[in-house]
């Protein structure tokens, strides 16, 4: 047995659709063609083809391609290439402005940080791969003995023994199992995220071999198709660029245009004399600080800090950040689109109701059902169906419970408790209840089988050809499984044909959704009404039916069914047609109602999102009544809100009339089915989305996975606002990947949604803290960080522009050498970056007052207005510092450099201190460290600064006056604004 399915022999994690690795060249990236192959068993003379080692490799680069690959991925972007060209221009004598390290050192620092980050990620991947590739597996030798080779040395065409709960090491053919039933259960959670157990059968001829050693005498071959490289189909998402990054890029483009325009103005004021194009290039170099080279590194490092904070938050344990590039998206969500089952609910099914048409049994009357079952199997003669006589309630209950106990894909598995009980077959023979668990793909089926066990009819054994039930009296009923028609999302039903070994009766059982079963069962006058009643109670309803078959009828069906399965053309259609010929005039037995309870704290979380100005839409595949009931229970629809149920429409005219009726209603929640939604979007897409976006809540039932993704894309196009999709199952993956921010919940349906999401949480209630606290903080911190990086660059650029203007537009640098490098690194980097620790309110306040979140959805912390304000502040402060230094210096030019540069450093540190709202001890350390670093470095900067001048009283008062004039008016304006027009968060902190 194994807990995983086979992996590809060689697997490379891909970042795109192509089968070749992206990169600067084939040598760097090692492109490889993958072809089909034939594997020979028992034919050593035909083993000529060479194959690579069976190792997993999730690294993007190898030892030789790492540095070229990282550099290529950095310089393929315009601004990185722009900074590289600036640095290279210093090799041209006419353009050189000073020491080479003036431009190369900042670029090297940025690249160094990127290389270190990539190296750390590659080392982590290497360690994880090495751990998997070094696992020990058992190999079957020629003597039939077992040896234990190292997993890294696995070669092609070896036979291995996989033990219970052991990972399968490679692509393998299932030849033999120790289980007497000839079946094995696997889990595929490491590939596609599905955690349910799946039955697999070995090759028939190899399973029947007397001893294991006979496997080595096989002479055969295996055709292996071309390996599939679409790993991203299951795990992760394509690299995303968030809205915040797009806005920052837009601002960078504006600054770049400003740089070019300002340089042209400087040259124009020189009247384009001489070799003006060289002066233009020199001015671009001199003013290049307008476009900050370090903004991308600062923001990327900030995102890493935000992701670390999310993972370390003890109040949302188990949260995983899979897309660390978009944490700011969490702070600007306007629409949350959520699944129902497993997302708002626990996906822990509990049987609640059995309805037979004339009588209904709830949890308070299960004793009566149990007594009917007990009497049915303890009478001298087992009850039999009498077609011409009205059946008694006891007979109908017995038939319904028997159908539920037989019509499923559940398999009982017996777990051993110690070394003395290691034979699973013996445990199954004894049918011990203490060590039996049920395995199935659907929790609904497990709930139904557990319910039949609770009333006395227990599923105790099953393999691919038989099933055993135990009656309340301990008698074992044996049934042969003739055919199984598994459940699919398209058919919405499953069926099974069994033969009672004691009576020889052949019966076809079926269960499914009411929408498909209504056309299959015989006419009745209660099915549709009772399905609606049970759905309004919030129950998941299944319709159970049966059909008795004679031996001749079954043989005729089997012949047609086998013939259809052997068809070469249209096989699926022909098989479905044969099955549908059997699904006619079936006898309706009962309705089952299973309850899926709400998760903890769903109601306060939805209320919090609503108070934050976020609209919540529920997209579910359940029927209308169930979805509406769940929405009411979860308070997605408040008590004082009306609900407009969009009636079923099939054509354009009906959709037009219903939309007009809906238009006349105000402030009401909308409930619409997937079929009606499809018609509305086909003919009236704009009108429907306009009306739906005005609703406080929208519930879409019977919604297909493709429709969920379509709704998100329409919201993005029509509203231009950010969406967040929350789901837990494989049918939510398309919705999660289409949204601006995908949140997956690790649920009982598997990890598909979690693996495909940007953020993975364990419970829906964690979404509130993820958005209100971490999303809000991440966005506000990144906005402040980017503004200060821009402010820092514009200040020194403004001073350079003023300096050149004063000296007749000469293209000579104000600061050279280490002063330029130190300004944006050791002197100001740490205080500016410490803003990633700042917060305007405590996390408890942000959770208590979700209204604070509303301000962020409009993007005000980083918009053109705030950008313009910071540009004006930078121009003001840069101009004051430069003009102040020029006015106050005595005679020597080095005094201008000393006064202006010191004032610039102090102004930047003081501006950061005035902006911080909640001090952290690391912020104090950053401020003191930067200031002390500058003071200490003055001793070594005698080439640029007069050391004797900076210790005079004249220097101190001049720097103090300039710094106060540049900062004090801004502080006064900020105080007055906070006093007379305070922001919303300040009202809670004052």
Give the CATH number, domain containing residue 511: 3.40.1110.10
Distances (CA, A) of 400 to 70, 454, 498, 538: 65, 15, 15, 22
By C-alpha distance, which of 190, 163, 167 is closest to 177? 163
Please check whether residue 473 is in contact with residue 481, taking contact to mean a CB–CB distance below 8 angstroms: no
Q: What is the pLDDT of residue 10?
A: 34
Q: What confidence category does residue 141 fall into, taking pLDDT thresholds of 50, 70 and 90?
A: low
Domain boundary residue among 551, 570, 595? 595
Residue 193 has pLDDT above 60, yes or no: no
- Give the rounded percent of residues in the chain with a pLDDT score beyond 90: 32
* Range of lowest pLDDT (328-332, 678-682, 809-813, 928-932): 809-813
Are 140 and 115 part of one and the same domain? yes
Mean pLDDT for the stretch of residues 251-256: 90
Residue 257 has pLDDT above 80, yes or no: yes
Domain assignment present for 696: yes
Q: What is the pLDDT of residue 777?
A: 93
Q: What confidence category does residue 419 fall into, taking pLDDT thresholds of 50, 70 and 90?
A: very low
Residue 33 has pLDDT above 80, yes or no: no
Q: What is the pLDDT of residue 553?
A: 92
Active site residue 300: no
Q: What is the pLDDT of residue 756?
A: 80
Mean pLDDT for the stretch of residues 35-44: 70
Q: What are the backbone angles phi and psi of residue 661, rounded to the nearest 5°?
A: -65, -40
Which comes out higher in pLDDT, residue 344 or 750?
344
Indicate the number of domains in the chain: 4
* Range of lowest pLDDT (105-109, 571-575, 670-674): 105-109
Are 64 and 167 part of one and the same domain? yes
Domain boundary residue among 761, 780, 810? 761
Mean pLDDT for the stretch of residues 715-738: 88
Annotated binding site for ATP: 339-341, 445, 487, 511, 540, 620-622, 702, 708, 731-732
Residue 977 has pLDDT above 80, yes or no: yes
**236 Cα distance to chain centroid:** 7
Which comes out higher in pLDDT, residue 261 or 16?
261
Tokens of 642: 């009306």
Residue 143 has pLDDT above 70, yes or no: no
Q: What confidence category does residue 535 fall into, taking pLDDT thresholds of 50, 70 and 90?
A: confident
Are 225 and 97 part of one and the same domain? yes
Are 585 and 669 part of one and the same domain? no
* Range of lowest pLDDT (101-105, 340-344, 938-942): 101-105
Give all strands (DSSP E) within 621-734, no chain letters. 642-645, 668-673, 697-701, 722-727
Mean pLDDT for the stretch of residues 98-115: 78
Which comes out higher in pLDDT, residue 500 or 243?
500
599-633 pLDDT, tens digit per residue, is 888 999 999 999 999 999 999 888 787 788 888 88
Residue 650 has pLDDT above 70, yes or no: yes
Give the global pTM. 0.74
Q: What is the pLDDT of residue 448?
A: 93
Are 100 and 197 part of one and the same domain? yes
Q: What is the pLDDT of residue 34?
A: 62
Domain assignment present for 219: yes
Domain assignment present for 359: yes
Are 339 and 360 part of one and the same domain? no
* The one catalytic residue among 339, 444, 514, 596: 339
Tokens of 350: 């509990």
Q: What is the pLDDT of residue 371?
A: 92
* Range of lowest pLDDT (421-425, 472-476, 854-858): 421-425
Q: What confidence category does residue 113 fall into, taking pLDDT thresholds of 50, 70 and 90?
A: confident
Q: What confidence category does residue 190 fall into, taking pLDDT thresholds of 50, 70 and 90?
A: low
Tokens of 553: 């009828």
Residue 905 has pLDDT above 90, yes or no: yes
Residue 50 has pLDDT above 80, yes or no: no
Mean pLDDT for the stretch of residues 574-582: 89
Residue 197 has pLDDT above 70, yes or no: no
Which comes out higher in pLDDT, residue 16 or 851?
851
Q: Which residue range(s) make up the domain with 65?
A: 11-233
Q: What are the backbone angles phi and psi of residue 810, rounded to the nearest 5°?
A: -80, 135
Please check whether residue 184 is in contact with residue 2, taking contact to mean a CB–CB distance below 8 angstroms: yes
Tokens of 252: 């960078």
What value, to the nearest 5°, has the Cα angle with vertex 937 and ends 933 and 939?
A: 145
**β-pair partners for 199:** 185
Are 498 and 551 part of one and the same domain? yes
Residue 878 has pLDDT above 70, yes or no: yes
Are 942 and 816 part of one and the same domain? yes
Q: What is the pLDDT of residue 114?
A: 80
Q: What confidence category does residue 85 fall into, taking pLDDT thresholds of 50, 70 and 90?
A: confident
Q: What confidence category does residue 312 fall into, taking pLDDT thresholds of 50, 70 and 90?
A: very high
Please check whether residue 595 is in contact with residue 539, taking contact to mean a CB–CB distance below 8 angstroms: yes
Cβ burial, residue 265 (10 Å; 0-12/13-18/19+):
middle
By C-alpha distance, which of 437, 501, 428, 509 is closest to 465? 501
Domain assignment present for 241: no
Q: What is the pLDDT of residue 377?
A: 86
Q: What is the pLDDT of residue 550?
A: 92
* Range of lowest pLDDT (39-48, 246-255, 319-328, 583-592): 39-48
Residue 157 has pLDDT above 70, yes or no: no
Annotated binding site for Mg(2+): 339, 341, 728, 732
Are 588 and 616 part of one and the same domain? no
Are 816 and 954 part of one and the same domain? yes
Q: What confidence category does residue 892 fall into, taking pLDDT thresholds of 50, 70 and 90?
A: confident
Residue 903 has pLDDT above 80, yes or no: yes
Domain boundary residue among 555, 571, 595? 595
Tokens of 444: 């609904």
Are 456 and 587 part of one and the same domain? yes
Q: What is the pLDDT of residue 80?
A: 77
* CATH number for 603: 3.40.50.1000
| pLDDT, averaged across the chain | 81
Mean pLDDT for the stretch of residues 141-150: 52
Distance CA 781, CA 505 (A): 72
Residue 480 has pLDDT above 90, yes or no: yes
Which comes out higher in pLDDT, residue 20 or 382?
382
Which comes out higher in pLDDT, residue 692 or 155?
692
Q: What is the pLDDT of residue 48?
A: 58
Domain assignment present for 327: no
Q: What is the pLDDT of residue 946?
A: 81
Q: Which range has highest mean pLDDT (42-56, 765-779, 813-827)?
A: 765-779
Residue 913 has pLDDT above 80, yes or no: yes
Q: What is the pLDDT of residue 990?
A: 53
Q: What is the pLDDT of residue 90?
A: 78
Q: How many CA atoms lie within 13 A of 548 on its CB side?
A: 11
Residue 415 has pLDDT above 70, yes or no: no
Residue 383 has pLDDT above 60, yes or no: no
- Long-range CB contacts (< 8 A, 24+ apart) of 280-283? 281/89, 281/95, 282/95, 282/97, 282/811, 283/804, 283/811
Q: What is the pLDDT of residue 236?
A: 39
Residue 986 has pLDDT above 80, yes or no: no
Q: What confidence category does residue 19 fall into, taking pLDDT thresholds of 50, 70 and 90?
A: very low
Q: What is the pLDDT of residue 155?
A: 43
Please check whether residue 44 is in contact with residue 156, taking contact to mean a CB–CB distance below 8 angstroms: no
Residue 240 has pLDDT above 70, yes or no: no
* Residue 948: strand, helix, or coil: coil
Q: What is the pLDDT of residue 159?
A: 66
Are 807 and 781 part of one and the same domain? yes
Domain assignment present for 249: no
């Amino acid at each position: 047995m194994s807990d995983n399915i086979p992996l590809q022999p060689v697997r490379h994690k891909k970042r795109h659709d192509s089968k070749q690795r992206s990169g600067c060249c084939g040598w760097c990236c090692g492109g490889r063609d993958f072809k089909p192959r034939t594997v020979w068993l028992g034919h050593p003379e035909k083993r000529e083809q060479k194959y690579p080692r069976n190792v997993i490799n999730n690294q993007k680069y190898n030892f030789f391609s790492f540095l070229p690959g990282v550099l290529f991925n950095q310089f393929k972007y315009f601004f990185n290439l722009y900074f590289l060209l600036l640095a290279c221009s210093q090799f041209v004598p006419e353009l050189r402005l000073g020491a080479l390290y003036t431009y190369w050192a900042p670029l090297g620092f940025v690249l160094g940080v990127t290389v270190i980050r990539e190296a750390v990620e590659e080392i982590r991947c290497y360690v994880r791969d090495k751990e998997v590739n070094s696992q020990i597996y058992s190999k079957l030798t020629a003597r039939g003995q077992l040896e234990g080779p190292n997993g890294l040395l696995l070669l092609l065409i070896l036979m291995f023994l996989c033990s219970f709960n052991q990972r399968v090491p490679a692509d393998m053919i299932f030849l033999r199992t120790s289980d007497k039933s000839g079946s094995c259960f696997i889990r595929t959670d490491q590939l596609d995220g599905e955690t349910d157990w799946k039955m697999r059968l070995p090759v028939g001829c190899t399973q029947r071999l007397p001893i294991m050693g006979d496997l080595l005498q096989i002479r055969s071959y295996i055709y292996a198709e071309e390996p599939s490289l679409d790993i991203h189909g299951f795990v992760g998402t394509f690299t995303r660029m968030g809205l915040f990054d797009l806005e920052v890029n837009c601002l960078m483009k504006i600054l770049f245009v400003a740089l070019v325009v300002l340089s042209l103005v400087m040259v124009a004021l020189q009247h384009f004399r001489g070799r003006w194009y060289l002066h233009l290039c020199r001015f671009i170099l001199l003013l290049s600080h307008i476009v900050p080279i370090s903004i991308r590194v600062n923001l990327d490092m900030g995102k890493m800090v935000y992701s670390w904070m999310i993972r370390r938050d003890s109040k949302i344990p188990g949260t995983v950040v899979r897309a660390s590039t978009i944490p700011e998206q969490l702070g600007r969500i306007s629409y949350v689109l959520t699944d129902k089952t497993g997302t708002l609910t626990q996906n822990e099914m509990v049987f609640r109701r059995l309805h037979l048409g004339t009588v209904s049994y709830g949890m308070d009357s299960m004793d009566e059902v149990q007594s009917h079952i007990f009497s049915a199997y303890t009478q001298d003669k087992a009850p039999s169906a009498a077609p011409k006589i009205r059946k008694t309630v006891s007979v109908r209950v017995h038939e319904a419970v028997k159908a539920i106990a037989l019509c499923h894909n559940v398999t009982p598995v017996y777990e051993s408790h110690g070394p003395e009980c290691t034979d699973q077959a013996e445990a199954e023979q004894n049918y011990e209840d203490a060590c039996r668990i049920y395995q199935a793909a659907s929790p609904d089926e497990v709930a139904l089988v557990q319910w039949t066990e609770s009333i006395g009819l227990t599923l105790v054994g099953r393999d691919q050809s038989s099933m055993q039930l135990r009656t309340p009296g301990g008698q074992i009923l044996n049934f042969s499984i003739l055919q199984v028609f598994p459940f699919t999302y398209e058919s919405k039903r499953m069926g099974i044909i069994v033969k009672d070994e004691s009576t020889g009766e052949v019966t076809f059982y079926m269960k499914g959704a009411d929408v498909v079963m209504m056309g299959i069962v015989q006419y009745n006058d209660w099915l549709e009404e009772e399905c609606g009643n049970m759905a309004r109670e919030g129950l998941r309803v299944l319709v159970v039916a049966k059909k008795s078959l004679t031996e001749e009828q079954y043989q005729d069906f089997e012949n047609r069914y086998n013939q259809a399965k052997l068809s070469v053309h249209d096989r699926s259609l022909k098989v479905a047609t044969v099955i549908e010929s059997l699904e006619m005039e079936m006898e309706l037995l009962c309705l089952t109602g299973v309850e899926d309870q709400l998760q903890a704290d769903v109601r306060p979380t939805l209320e919090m999102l609503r108070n934050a100005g976020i609209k919540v839409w529920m997209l579910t595949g359940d029927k209308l009544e169930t979805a509406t009931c769940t929405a009411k229970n979860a308070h997605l629809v408040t008590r004082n809100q009306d609900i407009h149920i969009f009636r079923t429409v099939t054509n354009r005219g009906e959709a037009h009339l219903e939309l007009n009726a809906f238009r006349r209603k105000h402030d009401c929640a909308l409930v619409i089915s997937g079929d009606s939604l499809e018609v509305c979007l086909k003919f009236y897409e704009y009108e429907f989305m306009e009306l739906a976006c005005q609703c406080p809540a929208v519930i879409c039932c019977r919604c297909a996975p493709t429709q969920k993704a379509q709704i998100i894309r329409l919201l993005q196009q029509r509203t231009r606002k950010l969406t967040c999709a929350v789901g837990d199952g494989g049918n939510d993956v398309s919705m999660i990947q289409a949204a601006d921010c995908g949140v997956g919940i690790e649920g009982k349906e598997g990890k598909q949604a979690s693996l495909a999401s940007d953020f993975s949480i364990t419970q829906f209630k964690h979404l509130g803290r993820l958005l209100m606290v971490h999303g809000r903080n991440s966005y506000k911190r990144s906005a402040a960080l980017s503004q200060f990086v821009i402010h820092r660059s514009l200040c020194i650029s403004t001073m350079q522009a003023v300096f050149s203007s004063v000296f007749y537009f000469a293209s000579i640098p104000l600061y050279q050498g280490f002063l330029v490098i130190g300004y944006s690194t050791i002197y100001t980097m740490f205080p500016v970056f410490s803003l990633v620790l700042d917060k305007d309110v405590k996390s408890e306040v942000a959770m208590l007052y979700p209204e604070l979140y509303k301000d962020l959805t409009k993007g005000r912390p980083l918009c053109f207005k705030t950008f313009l304000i910071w540009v004006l502040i930078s121009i003001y402060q840069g101009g004051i510092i430069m003009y102040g230094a020029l006015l106050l210096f005595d005679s020597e030019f080095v005094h201008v450099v000393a006064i202006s540069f010191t004032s610039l450093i102090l102004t930047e540190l003081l501006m950061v201190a005035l902006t911080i709202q909640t001090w952290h001890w690391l912020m104090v350390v950053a401020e003191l460290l930067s200031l002390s670093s500058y003071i200490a470095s003055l001793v070594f900067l005698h080439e640029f600064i007069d050391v004797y001048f900076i210790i005079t009283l004249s220097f101190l008062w001049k720097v103090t006056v300039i710094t106060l004039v540049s900062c004090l008016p801004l502080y006064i304006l900020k105080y007055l604004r906070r006093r007379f027009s305070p922001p919303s968060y300040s009202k809670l902190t004052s």
